[in-house]
Chains A and B, each alone.
Chain A
Amino acid sequence: MASVSLDRVRKAFPGAPDAVHELSLEIADGEFVSLVGPSGCGKSTTLNLIAGLDQPTSGSIRIDGKPVEGLEPGERDIAMVFQSYALYPHKDVRGNLAFPLEVARLERSEIDKRIAETAELLGISKLLSRKPRELSGGQRQRVALGRALVRKPRVYLLDEPLSNLDAGLRAQMRAELRRLHQKLRATFIYVTHDQAEAMTLSDRIALLRAGELQQTGTPREIYQRPANRFVAEFFGTPRINVVPARVLGLEGDDLVGIRPEQIELLSERASGVLEATVEEAEMTGAELWVTLSLGGESMVARAPSDFAAHPGGRVWIRFPADRVLRFEQSGRTLSQTRL
């Protein structure tokens, strides 16, 4: 097991802004850390740098405290799972699992033992003699995972491993990954563009935007105390409402943010409420997403599914003042909300 640390790592491809800019990140031994961000923000590039598939333009990477500069990917004691799985099409499942061990020149008996263990763990023992093209998407995903597991590496790098699965399988594999991490206690670095996935899986999340680190923290920290407007808007469905302070009856010219679930909807006027008009109500099953019009701005609130909201109708809203986020001109969150 090992820690991974990035120190002001920069990667520039010719003729483009930095794909990764001065990224510093400490990942503890055994931690499950997600790198999240919109597509093209440099997540895969970061992973490739850690894996040694690309060389940083500047900065340094250490695994278990030792600089890995100059080490080939195979020498870094890492394993990687790819979005497309990248299974070797000409090898059967057994051949795919055996390959990294064969390259490392392990004993045949040891290879067979590890393949059996891993196949057992992932429930793919019956598939060992199949070719990748004879497998379903979910089975391929398991084989890709297995190819990483057989090596018993210190660090697992996973690049959007679940994004090619349908929703049902994805939920199942999420739970399985969580279980695997608990069992192995290895360091997992997990890349995804899906904020919900990052939230449910990770010990800690690092959010990137255009190659720059925005914030790191536990899912709770990131959700409740986002460092800036971008982070606040990235996490949570529906998105956080960002409106001028005056719309919520607050002082100042700043923008403020309030999460949809913090807004309480009332069908009658009460003290300390604001009046709003219903624009639209979207039924999602468990709850109702109500789009409101308030002071010329649109906002979304979450309400119980039996709440009566009709387009054009009138409702009243209430929210806990200490849950309002206030953003500076630059987008940064002001440390303490004031009313």
Chain B
Amino acid sequence: MKRLPVLVFFLGPLAWQVLTSFWPEPELTRALPHALTVANYAGLGTTFARAVLNSLLVAAGTTALCLAVGASAAFAVAKLEFRGRSLLFGGALAISMFPPIATVSPLYLVLRAAGLRDTLAGLILPYATFALPLTLWLLTSFFRDLPDELYRAARVDGCTPWQAFVHVFLPLSWPALATSAILVFIFSWNELLYALSFISTPSKRTIPVAIALFAGEHVEPWGQIAAASVVATVPLAFLTLFFQRRIVAGLTAGAVKE
């Protein structure tokens, strides 16, 4: 099997991490543990539970905002005519190349001035902004593939562009919405730089920040870190297992010409 070395390379480190998470802390110096324990998980405590909750809130909020704003804009770009149409689409693609670090300093000052620094809500807007180009890209190509005549039919049937969007195109677009939602969720769940820069209160940390800054009193608590990592990974493992087709389709949309 040629796949075996590939699987070992990609899954081996994860397997070791899972094993470490059940490894009794005092026995980490040994080659292998004598017995397995859930103490590492129990020891994570409420701070990490908060981080999981925070990440869920931020990721869900970002996904909702991104889809709400992105779907209507993508529909407009794909099916309607308005001034600034190509500017929006081209601009979004250019923005997807922006390095996040380039906006950290002004966003920090603006969020601070607005009283949103060190709040979860303050993370959602920048996250949605950086996930918006991908959402626009996916949804626009989806809407483009739906026939123009469908839009014209809705208009002749008396719909305003908005009604055509809500009654005809939105109900048809759930596959693309699902794909976008999954990718945006993963992006927000994983983001570190902004969360690290804007959040200072420990109870407001998201998972990546909590794990990056995870520290013990004397030595690094590798077992607990492993347990936290597993907790952070499980939702994504389910997402990839169940929605891999969507994820792959979303990631490679536009990679090849039809």
Report yes or no: A100 in contact with B149, Cβ–Cβ below 8 A: no
Partner of A80, one of B147, B156, B163, B172: B156
Any B CB within 8 A of the CB of A250:
no
B121 vs chain A, min Cβ distance (A): 35
Q: How far is the CA of A82 from the CA of B163 in the complex (A)?
A: 20
Any A CB within 8 A of the CB of B160:
yes
The 8 A CB mask of B139-180 against A (1 = contact, 0 = none) is 000000001011011111111100100011001100000000
Any B CB within 8 A of the CB of A53:
yes
Any B CB within 8 A of the CB of A84:
yes
B151 vs chain A, min Cβ distance (A): 8
Binds B, one of A29-37, A71-79, A175-183, A216-224: A71-79
Report yes or no: B152 in contact with A82, Cβ–Cβ below 8 A: yes
Report yes or no: B147 in contact with A84, Cβ–Cβ below 8 A: yes
The 8 A CB mask of A129-154 against B (1 = contact, 0 = none) is 00000000000000000010001000
Which chain B positions have C-beta within 8 A of A82?
Answer: 149, 152-153
Q: How far is the CA of A147 from the CA of B153 in the complex (A)?
A: 10
Report yes or no: B159 in contact with A80, Cβ–Cβ below 8 A: no
Chain A's closest residue to B168 (CB) is A88
Partner of A78, one of B147, B156, B159, B163: B156
Any B CB within 8 A of the CB of A51:
yes
B232 vs chain A, min Cβ distance (A): 37
Which chain B positions have C-beta within 8 A of A84?
Answer: 147, 149
Q: How far is the CA of A78 from the CA of B157 in the complex (A)?
A: 9
Any B CB within 8 A of the CB of A262:
no
Q: How far is the CA of A306 from the CA of B160 in the complex (A)?
A: 62
Which chain A positions have C-beta within 8 A of B163?
Answer: 103
Report yes or no: A100 in contact with B158, Cβ–Cβ below 8 A: yes
Q: How far is the CA of A100 from the CA of B160 in the complex (A)?
A: 12
A175-215 CB contacts (< 8 Å) to partner B: none
Any B CB within 8 A of the CB of A296:
no
Size of B's binding interface in residues, CB under 8 A: 17
Give the bracket for the number of chain A residues in contact with chain B. 20 to 34
The 8 A CB mask of A95-106 against B (1 = contact, 0 = none) is 000011001100
A320 vs chain B, min Cβ distance (A): 47
User: Secondary structure of the B side of the interface?
Assistant: helix
Which chain B positions have C-beta within 8 A of A79?
Answer: 156
Report yes or no: B152 in contact with A48, Cβ–Cβ below 8 A: yes
Chain B's closest residue to A88 (CB) is B168
Report yes or no: B152 in contact with A80, Cβ–Cβ below 8 A: yes
Report yes or no: A72 in contact with B153, Cβ–Cβ below 8 A: no
Chain A's closest residue to B159 (CB) is A103
The 8 A CB mask of B193-209 against A (1 = contact, 0 = none) is 00000000000000000
A328 vs chain B, min Cβ distance (A): 41
Q: How far is the CA of A73 from the CA of B154 in the complex (A)?
A: 9
A33-87 CB contacts (< 8 Å) to partner B: 48, 51-53, 72-75, 78-80, 82-84, 86-87
Chain B's closest residue to A159 (CB) is B149
Q: How far is the CA of A51 from the CA of B155 in the complex (A)?
A: 9
A143 vs chain B, min Cβ distance (A): 12
Q: How far is the CA of A157 from the CA of B153 in the complex (A)?
A: 11
Report yes or no: B158 in contact with A103, Cβ–Cβ below 8 A: yes
Which chain B positions have C-beta within 8 A of A51?
Answer: 152, 155-156
Partner of B153, one of A52, A80, A104: A80
A329 vs chain B, min Cβ distance (A): 41
Asked, given contacts A53-B152, A80-B152, whether A73 binds B147 with beta carbons under 8 Å apart, the answer is no
Report yes or no: A103 in contact with B152, Cβ–Cβ below 8 A: no
Report yes or no: B150 in contact with A86, Cβ–Cβ below 8 A: yes
Which chain B positions have C-beta within 8 A of A90?
Answer: 171-172
Q: How far is the CA of A103 from the CA of B168 in the complex (A)?
A: 12
Which chain B positions have C-beta within 8 A of A48?
Answer: 152
A252 vs chain B, min Cβ distance (A): 49
B148 vs chain A, min Cβ distance (A): 9
Q: How far is the CA of A51 from the CA of B149 in the complex (A)?
A: 13
Partner of B157, one of A52, A83, A100: A100
Report yes or no: A74 in contact with B153, Cβ–Cβ below 8 A: no
Any B CB within 8 A of the CB of A285:
no
Report yes or no: B158 in contact with A73, Cβ–Cβ below 8 A: yes
B196 vs chain A, min Cβ distance (A): 43
Any B CB within 8 A of the CB of A272:
no
Any B CB within 8 A of the CB of A15:
no
Which chain A positions have C-beta within 8 A of B154?
Answer: 88, 99
A338 vs chain B, min Cβ distance (A): 50
* Sample of 13 A–B contacts (CB below 8 Å): A48-B152, A53-B155, A72-B160, A74-B155, A74-B160, A79-B156, A80-B152, A80-B153, A82-B153, A88-B154, A90-B171, A100-B156, A151-B157
Q: Which 3 A-B pairs rank lowest in CB-CB distance, beginning with the nearest? A: A74-B158, A100-B157, A86-B153
Which B residues are closer than 8 A to A by beta carbons?
147, 149-150, 152-160, 163, 167-168, 171-172
Which A residues are closer than 8 A to B by beta carbons?
48, 51-53, 72-75, 78-80, 82-84, 86-90, 99-100, 103-104, 147, 151, 157
